[in-house]
Amino acid sequence: MEKFFALPQIKQDTIINAALSSFGTNGYKKTSVSDIAAAAGISKAMVFHYFGTKKALYFYLVNLCGSIIMNEVNEKFDSTVTDFFDRIKQSSEIEISAMKKYPSISLFLKSIYFEKDEEVKDDLRALFEKGEDFRNKIAFQGMDYSKFKEDIDLKLFVKMLLWLTDGYMNQLSDKAEIDYEIMFKEFDKCLNMLKNNFYKEEYVNPSYKSRS
């Protein structure tokens, strides 16, 4: 794989994006090396020249995405933030900045989570276990729920936010060309709207009440 790393970064990224998107949409088995080569604008032979086998490419991507997310979390995640919505914003920011580099990273990560092909399933499971407690760090624990209005069903609210973020991230994945800043601002406004209507009045941003 030294051959691949010797490429200029921009070409590496082109190939990585092509592969992430192909594997992400069609899974391991149904993605052919020709698909990836075509999407990257190179010949199939080059893919083998760079990565040796389809499987090697696949797991290179898996590990790459793993470390990208890990770095992003280490850099942006702040466990001292206990506000529910701020924590969600953090997670969203983490995902957005990962997608700025590799737009299909979410699609790909979701796909490996559901991957069922025998040739890669077991190795994937092994990697998942390794990252399990890592994920728990950014989950909804140690969080301050006391700011919510008394009558809110918190379990239901969390479930709703899971649906919401999933739908939001889905829309990010679908679009070919996205202005991430605009999308993120919209999501941010959405979280603020929820906060302003589900938090006790003493916790909502005072400037909100005088909004248009």
> Which residues contact DNA (rule: CB under 7 A)?
3, 6-7, 31-35, 42-46, 48-49, 52-55
Which long-range contacts (C-beta less than 8 Å, at least 24 apart) are formed by 93-101? 93/184, 94/69, 94/138, 95/169, 96/172, 96/180, 96/183, 96/184, 97/72, 98/68, 98/69, 98/72, 99/172, 99/180, 100/180, 101/13, 101/68
53 or 170, CB closer to DNA? 53
- Name the segment binding a copy of itself (CB under 8 A); options: 43-51, 63-71, 92-100, 203-211: 203-211
Per partner kind, with CB cut-offs from 5 to 8 A, the member of a copy of itself, DNA, none near residue 3 is DNA
CB of 37 to DNA, least distance (A): 8
CB of 4 to a copy of itself, least distance (A): 26
**How far apart are the C-alpha atoms of 173 and 159, rounded to whole Å?**
21
Q: Tell which one of 101, 162, 181, 200 touches a copy of itself (CB under 8 A).
A: 162
Residue matched to tokens 């920011």:
93
Per partner kind, with CB cut-offs from 5 to 8 A, the member of a copy of itself, DNA, none near residue 200 is none
Based on its alpha-carbon atoms, the radius of gyration of the chain, rounded to whole angstroms, reads 20
Nearest in space to 87 (alpha carbons), one of 195, 182, 172 = 195
> What are residue 144's DSSP bridge partners?
83
Q: Tell which one of 10, 126, 156, 182 touches a copy of itself (CB under 8 A).
A: 156
Tokens of 77: 């995640």
27 or 52, CB closer to a copy of itself? 27
CB of 29 to DNA, least distance (A): 7
68 or 110, CB closer to a copy of itself? 110
55 or 116, CB closer to a copy of itself? 116
Per partner kind, with CB cut-offs from 5 to 8 A, the member of a copy of itself, DNA, none near residue 44 is DNA
Q: Give, as ranges, the residues between 165 and 194 that touch a copy of itself (CB under 8 A).
A: 165-168, 170-171, 174, 186, 189-190, 193-194
- Name the segment binding a copy of itself (CB under 8 A); options: 2-10, 123-131, 135-143, 156-164: 156-164
Tokens of 1: 């794989």
Residue 57 half-sphere exposure toward CB, CA atoms < 13 A: 27
Cβ(61)–Cβ(109) below 8 Å: no
SS3 202: helix
